[in-house]
Amino acid sequence: MEHAVPHDALIATAEAAADAAGACIRPLFRSRLAPEDKADASPVTIADRGAEAAMRAVIRARHPEHGILGEEGGAERPGARWRWVLDPIDGTRAFITGRPLFGTLIALLDGATPLLGVIDQPVTGERWIGYAGRPTRFRGGFGGVAGCRPCARLDLAELSATSPDMFDAAATPAWRRLAGAVRRRSWGGDCYAYGLLALGQIDIVAEADLKLWDWAALVPVVEGAGGRLTDWRGAPLREGGDGRALAVGDPALLAPAVARLAG
């Protein structure tokens, strides 16, 4: 069903929210942190809270009838059909260590379905915009064009995950089966890795321990670039699921990747 608000207006809201978040985050990136500082006073906590509050203010002013869910501030109007789902800093460790590969994630759900997704990197100035049924758009100064690349064979695929620490004892053997079947593995990146998949630079991202706000924005970005983003069984990701995500750039990789993860 078509949204009552034109999609361009929704995208404009998401972009304004990303701009507001970036303005909070940039000044705190690479600020000095004493290792013994309390978590409450850390730059990443201050950036996280400030960016989420700024995004909520933008959304509330434009769409007072919409719900908002964020990691920091809980749920507003949780029963609303349209809900914005916010993750101000996806990739806390990247932020903390000064790597410019974290991202601000903004999704709009229609019921359970992600309708719109933005991945914004406020330091590099790169932004991915996905909207269900439309081609993903990308802009940034480092090059790259939106669109996944063809790669139908696991043994030629480039696989990525943020950290081996995200795989628990049950997930590790499945990850290892997949990692052993691909051409190369690389680490780090959080949401940025899904953005690189949507630019045809990576073929598979397989991760675990993701929350709704970690993956909701990625679905329209990846699928609008021609890829697929599912759980490890190849089924749509869902709120309250097991938090395991599998992105493939070439849909032909989905079945062999699922088979490897299943053992």
What is the separation of C-alpha 261 from the centre of its chain, rounded to a whole number of angstroms?
Answer: 21
Candidates 47-55, 76-84, 148-156, 234-242; binding stretch for a copy of itself (CB under 8 A):
148-156
Structure tokens given for 259: 């088979």
Among residue numbers 27 through 86, which ones bind a copy of itself (CB under 8 A)? 29-36
Candidates 78-86, 177-185, 211-219, 223-231; binding stretch for a copy of itself (CB under 8 A):
177-185
Q: Which is nearer to a copy of itself, 59 or 193 (CB)?
A: 193
Distance (Å, whole) CA 58 – CA 185: 39
Dihedral over Cα of 6, 125, 117, 158: its sign? positive
Could you say whether residue 113 binds a copy of itself (CB under 8 A)? Answer: no
Could you say whether residue 156 binds a copy of itself (CB under 8 A)? Answer: yes
φ, ψ of residue 197 to 5 degrees: the values are -65, -40
Could you say whether residue 128 binds a copy of itself (CB under 8 A)? Answer: no
Candidate residues 184, 233, 238, 262; the one interacting with a copy of itself per rule CB under 8 A = 184
Look up tokens 């997949």; give the residue: 178
Q: Are the CB atoms for 221 and 130 separated by under 8 Å?
A: yes
Could you say whether residue 93 binds a copy of itself (CB under 8 A)? Answer: yes
In three-state secondary structure terms, 32 is: coil
Could you say whether residue 103 binds a copy of itself (CB under 8 A)? Answer: no
Candidate residues 57, 78, 139, 186; the one interacting with a copy of itself per rule CB under 8 A = 186
- Report in angstroms the alpha-carbon separations of 259 from 148, 154, 174, 178, 248: 21, 11, 10, 9, 13
Candidate residues 87, 120, 203, 214; the one interacting with a copy of itself per rule CB under 8 A = 203
Q: Which is nearer to a copy of itself, 35 or 79 (CB)?
A: 35
Could you say whether residue 160 binds a copy of itself (CB under 8 A)? Answer: yes
